[in-house]
């Protein structure tokens, strides 16, 4: 959907590819990355310093914790911290608030966190002590959360503020105040997604005569380039997901319902100590594979059909996003293989073109052209025009392809599955994106084509092929790290080519034995997570 027709860059040199050879044996998740306290403190301090360096002089940044989300009555969903607060502090507990102040060269960092309450701990588990907060975040200036609202009021009233014990005072008359806020369009409309996520900040943002600025551009720019530290966590989430995908391929031949395969995936996530998922798992057999976000898992597993699995473990807030589409019985039919190979070719073309300087839009054009070329050969596209000069690489050369490749090429990946970052600017080393072309021969595809001369002509021409491939849906999705020279396939250990998938599945149905080596916990987890 993010497909743009314009092309600005003409980088067609083939990039060196760092593709890992697929290993046909089961990939058990390696041990979780070991991260020392010192390493974590250094990383978090560096991030906070980077944020502070982008703040105006005489300014204050306030980051709230996420609010707990209601499941039903007095039960909440499992708490997940707001990403940017986590990015700067590592704190996973509710009701923590970070305040950074900047006054010339002087930067202060303060956490408001609730005091431990023994009765509450007997019910809900250990709460952070001040020592815990310091051990996790490296921040030493800590104030009882009960005092937070007084500070927030002082900010509004521009009144001096100090903690009750007089030990900590914080700037309360800044020239500007940074909050995470919904983005505002030119006509003043706030974006719905941001409004939902930053509701409490938006409600707090009333009655200031201080200049209030949206902190998100600062975080978005930083978070889009992943540090080696972040890449270790993301790679672990991807490794867990790789095992989950392979486990599902191993048992699918004996499964009767989609939810049974779904169970194997999420079993692996929990078994390998993922936070859990980064988004609800998509497990669709046959025609269900043609629905992009099919999450019900309520249909039978049918021999002879394809199963599409779009799943991602989340580990320490970083989410994988990996799709494989494979035959239930381990062998692609001719038609399935034809569609699959076209999608595969598009992925390859995208990876080959990926390097700093290229844009996501350009990569999207490459994917669409590659798919259009393949679909023209099998009669599902009639308007594809081959490239005649190098510049054509980034020029869309089929409109009809959008009837079958119904979404964009991919998105940034990180603490959100659709991670922060604009899609216009050129790629830089350290960015991670999903390379996920797809072809969906939806049964209702014809119903969506307008009843015009052009539309009807198209339908007439492709009708036979449409019926031949009907209800086949294929998406292949890999997570790619942009490097100085090209790209690393972070999902490289997971079989992807037709040959590799068939070879892996031919080894026969098998289960991972319970004794399979487990991934021990990393060094980041702490007693209290809420």
The residues of the shown chain that bind its own copies, judged by CB under 8 A, are 69-75, 77-78, 80, 83, 118-119, 121-126, 193, 196-197, 251, 254, 256-257, 259-260, 262-264, 266-267, 270-271, 273, 278-280, 290-296, 298, 406-407, 415-418, 440, 442, 444, 447-448, 511, 514-515, 518, 520-521, 525, 527-530
Query: Nearest approach, Cβ of 209 to its own copies (angstroms)?
Result: 29
* Cβ nearer to its own copies, comparing 329 with 518: 518
Which lies closer to its own copies via its Cβ, residue 237 or residue 349?
237
Tell me the C-alpha distance between 379 and 400, whole Å: 11
266 or 436: CB nearest its own copies: 266
For the record, the structure tokens of 208 come out as 């200031």
Q: What three-state secondary structure class fits 160?
A: coil
CB of 317 to its own copies, least distance (A): 9
CA 432 → CA 214, 285, 366, 489, distances in Å?
24, 29, 18, 10
d(CA 333, CA 344): 16
Query: Would you say 44 or 445 has its CB closer to its own copies?
Result: 445
Q: How far is CA 14 from its chain centroid? A: 27
The answer to whether 424 and 359 have CB atoms below 8 angstroms apart is yes
CB of 86 to its own copies, least distance (A): 10
Cross-strand pairs, 108: 101
Least distance in angstroms from the C-beta of 276 to its own copies: 9
Buried b (16+ CB within 10 A) or exposed e, 242-261: bbbbbbbbbbbbebeebebb
Q: Pick the closer one to its own copies by CB: 23 or 76.
A: 76
The Cα 344–Cα 353 span in angstroms is: 14
Q: Which is nearer to its own copies, 273 or 336 (CB)?
A: 273
Residue nearer to its own copies on the CB measure, 151 or 318: 318
Instruction: Determine what percent of the chain falls in helix, strand and coil, rounding each to the nearest 5.
Output: 35, 15, 45
In the complex, the smallest distance separating the C-beta of residue 389 from its own copies, rounded to whole angstroms, is 35
- Shortest Å distance, C-beta 173 to its own copies: 33
Cβ nearer to its own copies, comparing 208 with 267: 267
In the structure encoding, which two tokens stand for residue 445, read together?
């595809």
Question: Smallest distance, Å, CB 252 to its own copies?
Answer: 11
Smallest gap from Cβ 528 to its own copies, in A, equals 8
Q: What angle do CA 413, 414, 420 make, to 5 degrees?
A: 75
Helix (H) or strand (E) holding 97: strand 97-103
Q: Which is nearer to its own copies, 116 or 352 (CB)?
A: 116
CB of 312 to its own copies, least distance (A): 10
Are the C-beta atoms of 196 and 179 separated by less than 8 Å? no
Q: How far is the CB of 156 from its own copies (least distance, A)?
A: 24
CA 116 to chain centre: 34
229 half-sphere exposure, CB direction, 13 A CA radius: 20
- Are 390 and 353 in contact, with CB atoms under 8 Å apart? no
- Under DSSP, is residue 109 helix (H, G, I), strand (E, B) or coil? strand
Rounded Cα distance, 149 and 126, in Å: 24
- Pick 185 or 388: Cβ nearer its own copies: 185
């Amino acid at each position: 959907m993010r497909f743009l027709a314009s092309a600005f860059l003409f980088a067609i040199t083939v990039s060196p590819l760092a593709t890992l050879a697929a290993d046909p044996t089961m990939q058990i998740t390696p041990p979780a990355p070991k991260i020392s306290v010192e390493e974590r403190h250094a990383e978090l301090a560096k991030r906070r310093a980077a944020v502070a360096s982008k703040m105006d002089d005489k300014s204050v940044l306030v980051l709230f914790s996420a609010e707990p989300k209601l499941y039903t009555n007095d039960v909440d969903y499992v708490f997940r911290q707001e990403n940017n607060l986590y990015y700067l502090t590592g704190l996973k507990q509710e009701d923590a608030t970070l305040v950074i102040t900047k006054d010339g060269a002087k930067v202060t960092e303060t956490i408001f966190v609730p005091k431990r309450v023994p009765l509450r701990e007997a019910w809900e588990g250990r709460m952070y002590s001040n020592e815990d907060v310091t051990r996790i975040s490296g921040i030493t200036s800590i104030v009882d959360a009960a005092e937070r609202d007084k500070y927030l009021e002082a900010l509004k009233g521009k009144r001096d503020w100090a903690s009750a014990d007089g030990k900590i005072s914080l700037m309360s008359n800044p020239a500007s105040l940074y909050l995470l806020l919904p983005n505002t369009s030119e006509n003043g409309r706030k974006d719905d997604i941001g409004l939902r996520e930053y509701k409490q900040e938006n409600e707090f943002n009333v009655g200031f005569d201080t200049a209030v600025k949206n902190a998100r551009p600062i975080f978005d720019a930083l978070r889009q380039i992943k540090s080696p530290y972040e890449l270790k966590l993301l790679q672990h989430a991807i490794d867990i997901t790789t095992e989950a995908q392979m486990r599902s391929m191993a048992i699918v031949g004996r499964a009767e319902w989609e939810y049974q395969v779904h169970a194997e995936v999420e079993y692996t996530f929990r078994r390998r100590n993922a936070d859990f998922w980064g988004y609800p798992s998509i497990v669709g057999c046959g025609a269900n594979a043609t629905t992009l976000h099919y999450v019900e898992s309520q249909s039978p597993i049918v021999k002879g059909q394809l199963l599409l699995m779009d799943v991602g473990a989340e580990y320490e807030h970083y989410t994988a996003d990996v799709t494989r589409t494979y035959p239930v019985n381990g062998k692609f039919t001719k038609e399935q293989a034809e569609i699959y190979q076209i999608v595969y070719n598009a992925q390859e073309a995208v990876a080959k073109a990926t390097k700093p300087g290229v844009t996501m839009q350009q990569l999207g054009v490459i994917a669409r052209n590659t798919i259009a070329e393949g679909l023209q050969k099998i009669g599902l596209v009639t308007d594809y025009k081959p490239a005649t000069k190098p510049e054509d690489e980034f020029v869309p050369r089929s409109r009809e392809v959008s009837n079958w490749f119904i979404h964009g090429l991919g998105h940034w990946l990180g603490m959100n599955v659709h991670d922060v970052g604009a899609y216009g600017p050129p790629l830089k080393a350290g960015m991670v994106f999903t390379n996920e072309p797809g072809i969906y021969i939806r049964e209702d595809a014809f119903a969506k084509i307008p009843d015009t001369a052009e539309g009807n002509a198209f339908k007439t021409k492709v009708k036979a092929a449409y019926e031949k491939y009907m209800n086949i849906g294929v998406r292949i999705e890999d997570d790619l790290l942009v490097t100085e020279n090209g790209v690393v396939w972070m999902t490289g250990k997971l079989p992807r080519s037709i040959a590799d998938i068939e070879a892996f599945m031919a080894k026969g149905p098998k289960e991972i034995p319970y004794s399979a080596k487990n991934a021990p916990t990393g060094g980041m987890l702490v007693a209290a997570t809420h």
